[in-house]
Chains A and B, each alone.
Chain A
Amino acid sequence: MYSELLHALPEVIGFSNFAAVIIGVIAGIVVGAMPGLSATMAISVLVPFTFGLEPLVALGLMAGIYNGAMYGGAIPAVLLRIPGTPAAVATTFDGYPMAQKGEGGFALQVAVVSSAIGGIASAFALMLLAPPLSKVTLLFGPSEVFWVAVFGLASIIFLLGGNPVKGLISACFGVFVSVIGADPIYGTDRFTFGQLEMLDGISIVILLVGLYALPPVIDLLETPLKTDGVESSKLGTEPIWKAMPRMKGFWKTWLRSSVIGIWIGILPGAGGSMAAFMSYNEARRSSKHPERWGEGEPEGVAASETANNADTASALIPALTLGIPGTAVAAVMLGGLLVHGLQPGPMLFRENPDVVFGFMWQFLFGAILLILLGGSLATNSFARLLNLPRPLLGSVIIVLMLIGVYSIHGRMFDVYLMLGFGAVGWVMDKLKFPLPPVVLGLILGGFAEENLRLALRIGRGDWSVLFQNTTSLILVALTVAVVVGPIVKRRMIDRRKHAES
């Protein structure tokens, strides 16, 4: 099972594949360092440009960006108390006070080393857990695959927190978009209104760019952030090898936070910010000096940064094996796999072992490269990026979005469609409708429909075929648990609060 993992290694260390990871990490740090830009947005903008690339080059870029952005978010969090990504919020608690004391450089070094450790642990978890899980899922037939898709959607909607009605609306919208185009069995048009461009369905890339890239650009232009620049006194950087001995006491935090991050990453719907908060709280609880936390305790930075990087590769465990992404970035990455003809799920491991195992190595290398590329000198340079004018950045991203979407099929129709989805995405973003269920609905909707209809054909139209084996029943039970669980939990909390008052 793991021999294929070693078999994929020579492929990954080829020049172009390795260079892709390096470029990805640098680009990720840059994106993460810019408040308002996220890994999800960067990968959404990148995906259309990867069409002409080899799958491993494209995936290397994505893995690098994901790893880089998770650390990059720490740069403004430490220097300006503005988290570059949502996952870096907990980093501000101790990172910024450290910068105020003139220890910003050390805080960033703790962040980069901790991010690398979290990323390495996460990549190992992906390598160890995904292959056996994929073997189990190979046994699934059409009805089980249908239930996996339903379970995936249900878990994203109900575990994401917030308003389940809005989550359901997002998912219904995504699934509806997935059925636009020719019917998969009969070939009849569905909701194309005579537009030939829509016969093949709506490309996931158009939806991704519209939903994830346009709203942040509008935000950049709406409120141009006035940063006060980065003063060199806040950094106080020394070479990273000189700073390493000061971190040797953090090993327990690194270990604990890695486990928390990996676990949160595997859970659908949770994400880097939840991992960072949980890890920060746990580390503070077990500290001998909890009173120092919040006033510039380097271990606080270590806890949050380890956890938010430990959820990167692990979020791909359910994504690659079952097609259920653990986070929004993982959902976008699934889109990236699809544009290269790689259908996430058990068959991915059988049909493209070099690509899927190579992708896992790229995550590991991306995490290791963080230390080299995000070290002291680079950190100084990346920190200067915060002084870039936001309106200029916004206008450049608009151009990149247009080029990316236009280059998919070489037609302006896709650009207009992307703008439409962008407008919908902006409204959804402002009204707090979760976006991952839309992407997941688009990915899983067509997949679920195809397998449902296949199962019904096998069962000659008998719907009971969907409930005829144990695996299907387990998946149905899990789906019900995922839907009912949070409702019961909320009721219990309400009852307890009521009793206390």
Chain B
Amino acid sequence: MSNRLTRPETLTALGIVVVAAGFLVPAAALRPISALLPVAMLVGLIGLSVILLISDQRKAAAGEAAAPMSKSPTRVAGAFALIVAYAVATDLIGFYVSTVVAVPLTAFLFGYRNPLGLALATVIVVGAIWLIFDFGMSQEFPAGRLWAA
């Protein structure tokens, strides 16, 4: 039974129903004409997700196995975590410091281990960004909230 409920499509459909129903609460406070399109879309999402849920459960009942979403869930989770960590680090300690660490670290963790190549790539990427965006276009990047405080 638990297997049937942990199928990716079933979980996604349930997730959509919960989130869309949650959005219906603030929608109730809107003027009818302002709420028309958002409510129609939210109700549509709920209805369609229920159809998706039923169709996926029928497949489960017929013994059809659900295809896994990823061949390597650990690598996917690691990639997401690294990207989020990079964004948070940029916010907190600044763009250049985070990028100098993130570029070689990501490449190293995901299989590229040549130290010279990593160093060269980091220098080229960070140098090109500084030259084009900072120096050439006067683009300001996050300096880091920690240093600003």
A419/B142 in contact, CB under 8 A: no
B34 touches A183 (CB 8 A): yes
The distance from the CB of B20 to the nearest CB of chain A, in whole angstroms, is 8
For chain A, residues 384 to 426, give those with C-beta under 8 angstroms from any C-beta of chain B: 389-392, 394-396, 398-399, 402-403, 406-407, 410, 412, 415-416, 419, 422-423, 426
In Å, the complex CA distance between A426 and B104 comes to 24
Complex CA gap A193/B41 in Å reads 19
Please tell me if the beta carbons of A391 and B80 are within 8 angstroms of each other in the complex.
no
- Name the one of B23, B83, B95, B133 contacting A191, with C-beta atoms under 8 angstroms: B23
- Chain B residues 54 to 84 lying within 8 A of chain A, measured CB to CB, are 55, 69-72, 75-76, 78-80, 83-84
Q: Is A431 an interface residue when CB atoms closer than 8 A count as contact?
A: yes
Please tell me if the beta carbons of A403 and B133 are within 8 angstroms of each other in the complex: yes
The CA-CA distance from A188 to B33 in the complex, in Å, is: 12
Question: Would A169 and B75 count as touching, CB distance under 8 A?
Answer: no
User: Is A243 an interface position by the 8 A CB rule?
Assistant: no
A431 touches B112 (CB 8 A): no
Instruction: Check if B107 is an interface residue, CB within 8 A of chain A.
Output: yes
CA distance A49 to B16 in the complex (A): 33
Which of these, B26, B125, B141, contacts A406 with CB under 8 Å? Answer: B141
| Complex: A392 Cα to B124 Cα, angstroms | 12
Highest count of chain A CB atoms <10 Å: which of B83, B112, B133: B83
Q: A165-B51, A188-B34 are in contact. Are A430 and B8 (CB under 8 A)?
A: yes
Report how far A179 CA is from B27 CA in the complex, Å: 11
Q: For the complex, is A135 an interface residue (Cβ under 8 Å from B)?
A: no
User: Which of B78, B103, B129 makes the CB contact (< 8 A) with A403?
Assistant: B129
Q: Inside 8 A of B140's CB, which chain A residues have their CB? A: 410
CA distance A94 to B87 in the complex (A): 44
- In the complex, how many angstroms separate the beta carbon of B123 from the nearest chain A beta carbon? 13
A407 neighbours in B (Cβ, 8 Å): 133, 139
Contacts of B41 in A (CB 8 A): 172-173, 175-176, 179, 445
Distance A423 CA – B52 CA, assembled complex (angstroms): 20
Q: Shortest beta-carbon distance, A239 to chain B, in Å?
A: 32
- A448: chain B residues at CB < 8 Å are 37
Asked if B8 and A431 sit within 8 Å, CB to CB, the answer is yes
A235 within 8 A of B: no
Assess whether A190 is in contact with B34, with CB atoms less than 8 Å apart. Answer: yes
- CA A168 – CA B51 in complex, angstroms? 11
Q: How far is the CB of A210 from chain B (nearest CB, A)?
A: 11
**B84–A419 touching, CB < 8 Å:** yes
Which residues in chain B, 17-62, are within 8 Å of chain A measured between CB atoms?
A: 23, 26-27, 30-31, 33-34, 36-38, 41-42, 44-45, 48-49, 51-52, 55
CB-contact partner of B44 in A172, A395, A410, A449, under 8 A: A172
Specify which chain A residues have a CB less than 8 angstroms from the CB of B55 in the assembled complex.
Answer: 165
Q: Is B110 part of the binding interface, using a Cβ–Cβ cutoff of 8 Å?
A: yes
| Pairwise interchain contact A392-B112, C-beta atoms closer than 8 A | yes
Say if the beta carbon of A218 comes within 8 Å of chain B: yes
Which partner residue on chain A sits nearest B37 by CB separation? Answer: A449
Cα distance A182–B38 when bound, in Å? Answer: 13
A406 pairs with B45, CB closer than 8 A = no
Q: A398-B106, A427-B69 are in contact. Are A222 and B34 (CB under 8 A)?
A: no
- Most B CB within 10 A of own CB, among A173, A179, A183, A430: A179
B137 at the interface (CB under 8 A from A): yes
Q: Given the complex of chains A and B, what is the CA–CA distance between A46 and B142 in angstroms?
A: 20
Q: Are B87 and A222 closer than 8 Å at their CB atoms?
A: no
Q: Is the CB of B103 within 8 A of A399?
A: yes
Chain A residues whose C-beta falls within 8 Å of the C-beta of B133 in the assembled complex: 403, 407
With A172-B48, A396-B103, A398-B83 known to touch, is A223 a contact of B111 (CB < 8 Å)? no
B129-A430 in contact (CB<8A): no
Selected from B70, B72, B86, B109, the residue in CB contact (under 8 A) with A398 is: B86
Question: In the complex, how many angstroms separate the beta carbon of B121 from the nearest chain A beta carbon?
Answer: 5
Residues of B near A395 (CB, < 8 A) are: 102-107, 110
B127 at the A interface (CB under 8 A): no
B54 to chain A, nearest CB (A): 10
Inter-subunit contact A427/B12 (CB<8 Å): yes
Report the minimal beta-carbon distance from B117 to chain A, rounded to whole angstroms.
Answer: 7
Would A224 and B79 be within 8 Å (CB), given that A172-B48, A406-B142, A412-B90 are in contact? no
- Of the A-B pairs whose beta carbons lie under 8 Å apart in the complex, a sample of 29, sorted by A's number, is A52-B137, A166-B52, A169-B48, A172-B42, A172-B44, A175-B37, A176-B41, A183-B31, A186-B34, A190-B30, A190-B34, A190-B38, A191-B26, A191-B38, A222-B70, A223-B72, A391-B111, A394-B79, A394-B110, A395-B103, A396-B125, A399-B99, A402-B87, A406-B141, A412-B142, A415-B91, A431-B9, A431-B12, A431-B69
Q: A389-B111, A422-B83 provided; 4 other pairs, C-beta below 8 A?
A: A169-B52, A172-B48, A176-B41, A410-B140
